[in-house]
Amino acid sequence: MEDLNLLKDKCKDLSILYVEDEEKVRIQTSKVLSIYFNNITLATNGKEALEKLKEEKIDIIFTDINMPKMDGLSMVEQIRKTNNHISVVVFSAYENTEYFLKSIEYGIDGYILKPFKFNQIQKVIEKIITKLQGYTELIHTLKLIDKYVWDIDISTLYKDSKQIELTKNETNLFKFLSSSKHRIYSSQEIEIELFNDNYSDNKRVRGLISRLNKKVDSQLIKSIYGQGYELNLDKK
């Protein structure tokens, strides 16, 4: 297995959601997961977990199967309707063939029987980290200044894993600018894209960007004199 300290370093910026209805198990397993991950969100059933996913940016889900209100597999089924990228690990107290086959169908990254051993958790985490490293450049996020992240797949802005509410025009602006992250877009191009208008006065664009930067208290979209605008990417 991989060196623990090295693995922890790879996991430190990832956010996980752990879903378990039994309090004792939730506390014990959370302690194990906290060895690797700094950012852990908890939920007690699938329904609550889906709400958490709307509010926070999650990289990996660890979930039990049998829970009230909504079981773990039904939750994963709902998630897969809109998100095929998020990694999922299922815990189960039963050697149930039906559960196992459904888990495979939903594209999970690990299926662990309870009671689990420490090395089982670590092996699954290693597998997920390898997968994430393999396609990080192909998908999904742009790191902006001041710890902001734009999720390209779901058109959502986050800071410290918390979703930032955007208006329709603000969302469309981010989508347009992120379509080619190193390109500078003119005011006229933005006018046409957002407002379907070739209007020469760029006051609407300036106002939109000014209000957005003021909202987030950061210059996420910067003006390039005489050229236009671009996303203010994190250079670190």
Tell me the pLDDT of the chain (236 aa) as tens digits: 556 777 888 888 888 999 999 999 999 999 999 999 999 999 999 999 999 988 888 889 999 888 899 988 889 888 888 887 888 998 887 776 677 777 777 778 888 888 888 888 888 898 888 887 665 444 468 889 999 999 887 889 999 888 999 999 999 999 999 887 778 888 988 988 888 876 656 889 999 999 999 999 999 999 998 889 999 998 76
Number of structural domains the chain divides into = 2
Residue type, 7: L
d(C-alpha 200, C-alpha 219), whole Å: 24
pLDDT at 148: 94
On whether both 122 and 200 belong to a single domain, the answer is no
Inside any domain, residue 236: no
By DSSP bridging, strand 162-164 and strand 156-159 are antiparallel
Pick the closest to residue 232 from 186, 184, 194 (CA basis).
Answer: 184
d(C-alpha 35, C-alpha 124), whole Å: 14
Q: What is the CATH number of the domain that holds 199?
A: 1.10.10.10
On whether both 19 and 121 belong to a single domain, the answer is yes
Inside any domain, residue 199: yes
pLDDT at 169: 95
Mapping DSSP to helix (H, G, I), strand (E, B) and coil, where does residue 79 land?
A: helix
Question: Who's near 236: CB < 8 A, 6+ residues apart?
Answer: none
Inside any domain, residue 200: yes
On whether both 129 and 12 belong to a single domain, the answer is yes
The enclosing H or E element of 113 equals strand 110-113
pLDDT at 137: 46
Provide the domain limits for residue 24.
4-135
Kindly calculate the radius of gyration of the chain based on its CA atoms and give it in whole angstroms: 21
On whether both 12 and 120 belong to a single domain, the answer is yes
The enclosing H or E element of 49 equals helix 46-55
On whether both 79 and 13 belong to a single domain, the answer is yes
On whether both 40 and 113 belong to a single domain, the answer is yes
